[in-house]
Structure 1
Amino acid sequence: MPIGSFTIWDLVDIDDLKPLFDGFSATTGFSAGLVDQSSNEVLISSGWGNLCRNFHRAHPESALACQDSNQLLSNNLQTAGEVRIGQCRHGLMDGCTPIIVEGRHLANIFSGQVFFAPPDPKRFRRQAKLYNYDQEAYLQALAETPVISEEKYIASLRFLALLATTVTKIGLANRHSQTQQRKIENQKALLSCLINSIPDLIYYKDREGVYLGCNKAFADFAGKPEEEIVGKNDFDLFDEETACSYREQDRAMLVSGQANRNQKWGLYPDGKKVRLEAVKAPYIGPTGQMLGLVGVNRDITRLKQAEDQLAEERELLLVTLRSLGEGVIATDNNGAVVLVNEVAEQLTGWRQQEATGRTIAEVFRILNEQTGQPCATSVQRVLDSDAIASAANNTELISRDGTRRQITSSASPIRATAGNIIGTVLIFQDVTEQLHMEQALRRVDKLESLGVLAGGVAHDFNNILTAIVGNISLAGRMIDPEHQIQDLLATAEKASWRAKDLTKQLLTFAQGGHPIKETTSISSIIQDSSQFVLYGSPVACNFHNTENLWLVDIDTGQISQVIQNLVLNARHAMPDGGCIDIYCDNVPAEDAGSYLQHPGKPHIRITVRDNGAGIPAKYLASIFDPYFSTKQEGSGLGLAIVHSIINKHGGYIEVQSQVGKGTTFTIFIPVADQVFTAIEPQTTRLQQGSGTIMVMDDEECLLELTQQVLNHLGYQSVTARNGAEAVERYRELLQNGETLDAVIMDLTIPGGMGGKDAMKAILEIDPQAKAIASSGYSSDPIMSHFREYGFSGAISKPFRIETLAQLLAEVIAEPPTATNNS
């Protein structure tokens, strides 16, 4: 509080000051008084004579004169030590000196009631009469009033003023000290409140480890009030193990002189266990000397739990990312890689540790598959546009080792809570096998569409060929073997059989067509077919076969056609000579790719590789399409037929080629798991027979031809134009007691019941019935599995008379079995 806020009362104790004034008066004989400057109140009066005490200041009117004299005497006193002397209105000499402390006029010291010369009695008699004093007593008091020299009076007055001022200053100093002490106490109280408001555990010790103070939080932890902690050490407050640990940490900090930080477990008196982050720092005094240490322990239990939970969530995230089938790369907002999951590591060839901090363009290298030019990553487009971005089609990922993969990818921004982008996440997938499968499916769709047309054409054409071949063959047997027309008939029959080969190729495309399979080793078929095509050419062929090559279920004729087509294409690609390498090896089930028709099943793999001109990349996706060819003389059916045959064998074919280096075809065929036993008998000897045969066909010319052939072979015949008619006639003949030795039935009757349904109905009438399936669709599944449908044999149109004769003889001679009812 400033000095202007105090009065003389606040600075000195008046009762302590009065003895000084009394001593002064007793020593000097002068009166002395202390008067407050602000209130004009007399605070001390010492040594006052009877003249003033009993008369001048006792009478109301004369007392006013005394006050006026005092006021006039003390007015405008400005300087400490200044002495002003004057005669009061009653004739006595008075003096006044101010008490001024730090420029503040607090009080005045008055002294006097003396005479510098003997007084005039007459004046005092008049004053006695004026104020109605007791004249005798008044004059007696006048006689008692001292007469002194002016110099002595002034010196004594100044001494008294100096003494009073000194005492006042001492009081002021005490007041200042008290004020400062209160400030210190207030600050200490404020600091204590602040420290006690802090939830952290705060304490300070001297260099010997004795506690000098602490806050409430630490007192709660120690289980004692602060006053019981101060003066104690750790061994007084905690168990020995804990105290030893604290003491070692204290010593380490005091020796190093540097703050240290560690984490430790703490135990409250109630058993509550907390994780503390402890900081100990030097306690430095005003002179810079280290007096001890200050400790702050923060409860980080929840923070630690949050960190542990965050670590668990991060681990869960990493496990999730590792479990994803897609590659995931996260970047910061500058495009630098911060995270790579395992799939991304496998696809890019970059490990997490190696990729971190590198640019996304360095780790995730992509090209346009068609142009071969580098592409900008989706990540950069996200950072530029602040939106989700996907990679363009035909994107290839180039891994660190140079492996190329076709991929799809998209990138999204990673946003903070405030909505700003803090990074990106790139998700990509290897779709190489998927695209291969889609290409294969598209080829299948194209072939199936063509197959519907090809199957119908081939069926009708085979019916026509049956009539032609049958009549030619029958005519040749009806004339002299030496007749000159025999050569013409033989040429015509040979041409017809060549036409059958063409229809067989067309039937490869037919909807639902199946090869007539047998279980065999494929190595000899490959070698024979290749050597046949390359005979007389400047192209060599090397065969590389795995020992113990697994057996396969194949149509040997169709597979031979596949090999011939591929080898022929390779030969055309090397007109000046070259080398073809053909590899055959086993593919275990676990290595069978998901793009195969039968993934997870063992296969054999056939690889046909040449070092010819190669196929441009832009044509590779179309080479299996029907009527697509890069050769002027090509029909465009060769590779389409190859693809169809392999597909109908449950296999898969793919091609790789590089211009100027050559082409490689790879074929996968499932390993054999069932034996098919459809046999088409072949013989040159015409075998005669006897009995009655029913012929069912919708073609009139074929009915007539078959009747003539049967008559020529010694059989009688009955005809029907559809399945319903055949069933009805069979029932009638059976009811009339007549027997049929066999039935020849066409499987396909447009608009009517075919052979399959007719066979089922006939077996219900006669379970011992014997029948031969006949079809222009040689690849009809019934033809290769005829016994499953109740037939005893099968013959494809067109057929030779010798073949029909042998088959009829075998079927009629076959004893009835229960399999006919299957």
Structure 2
Amino acid sequence: MIDKNMTDDPDVSDRSDHLKRELFQKTALLSGLLRSVPDLVFFKDTDGVFLSCNEMFAQCIGKPVSEIIGQTSHDLFDRNRADFFRSNDKRVLETGQSSKSVEWIDCASGDRILLETYKTPILTEENELIGVVGVGRDITERKHAEDELQDKKNELFQIVNGSPIPAFVINKDHNIIYWNRACEKATGIKAHEVIGTRDSWMAFYKEERPVLADLVVDNSLENIDKLYENNKLTPSFVEGGYQAEAFFPLLNKWILLTAAPIRDHNNDIMGAIETLQDITISKQAEKAILDAKMLAENTSRTKSEFLCNMNHELRTPLNLILGYADLLLAQETGQLNEEQKHFTEIIKFAGSRFLDLVDSLIYIAEIEEGKMELDIEMFSLPAMMSDVKRMLGPNAFKKGVKLEFDIDTHVSVVYADKSKIKTMLHHLISNGIKFTPAGGTVSVIVRQNESNDLHMIVKDNGIGISEEDQKRLYNAFVQLDGSLNRKFEGTGLGLSIVKKFVEVHGGHIDLESDPGKGSTFEVILPLSDQEPDNSMNSICDYSSFPGEH
């Protein structure tokens, strides 16, 4: 700095004039170069006098360049701000080092800007200090962007840290930047222990290895498949994200891991977030369900094996009993008195019921095991209906119920499972007879429509079925009257078997019923498209249904 008290010395005066000329030359040169620079640029001598400035600086001050040159900060700004600027100038002059300051400035235009100013000493070729150059940059937008970014970071932190789901976030360098409270609770590791480190693996594994978030950050699909292929690995709903489940002995928990990339405005991966959901209870429930299913399958298999064995063990003596009962009733071995004949009929009736029960149990076992198969064959439906009438007619006559058959003459030979259709009709007609009082009527109607669907209708005017009871009508082993002293006997298997037989044929069964008025069951079966053999028509016997077809 030049001492004014020494200006009377001619040598000093000449030196001072030389320095000023050099300073003016340097500032003139720099001013020309920086005239178009968008930053605020100014030059001062060691006394703080403005030697030059560019237009941007002049516009901010609100004065032309010519009115700024030769002035000091105290001439242009309020005292406090001018003192602040002058103290920065002196610091640069005294230390010979550059300095930076950031302050809010009110421009002449009324705008308030945040100015980042760098001040640097101006030196001669002989390294002598002759002034200060200042460059001020408007960083208002940058400040707003930084504030907005910080707000976003704070928002992310609050979301992650406040989430009840354990979660952590890593950056592209795999350093942990967030470790929320839920993650602290789930892993037992505090955030301050791991934030800033690459030790997320410590929460899950005994030895260092990448976690799912590490692989997502690296977009390492090969390693993701390799490390998690046995853990139900699936892509998540977020592009580039994955989820997997695994059991972690260190935590003694099953965890559903979900990792997704965090991308910047260029869609480049800048980190990843990983969440941890404890699914231990659901996995235990899943195992319990699986164990129960296996137990049920084993139980069902054991039951089926038992029933199949019993089928053989029971049928053999039952067939003998029924065969000898028929032999006795035929009186081939001698005449029976009325009492002997009555007892023999009881034996045959009870044996027949028992045989029906065995057949029903076998049917149910086959249905439950999924082993029910169709034995498709071509047969005469009228002839089969004649057999059904011959079997059930005596029961209806004995009870005083009229049994009517109405078979369309166009229904002749069909291609279906004869045994199952016969069983369907047997159960439906037997039920109709059982639940119809003396004097009532059970009607059997058979039709075939243009679509080759077979319609079998069994209608009675018996006791009927309520809407509530209809909901459980087809459940196996269900009796609508479950009391011990119920009026009507039965196992509760008949209608369940009928429904299953209808469904295995690809058909359906409908019911219309009103309590006290009767019931109408309609079975609709799609028949095979195979062309029937016309030679079979000769065995279609309608003679058993005189006046009823």
TM-score exceeds 0.5: no
Instruction: Report which of the two structures shows the higher radius of gyration computed on alpha carbons.
Output: 1
Give the alignment's TM-score, normalised by structure 2: 0.45
User: Could you say which structure has the greater relative contact order, defined with CA pairs below 8 angstroms and 6 or more residues apart?
Assistant: 2
Give the alignment's TM-score, normalised by structure 1: 0.32
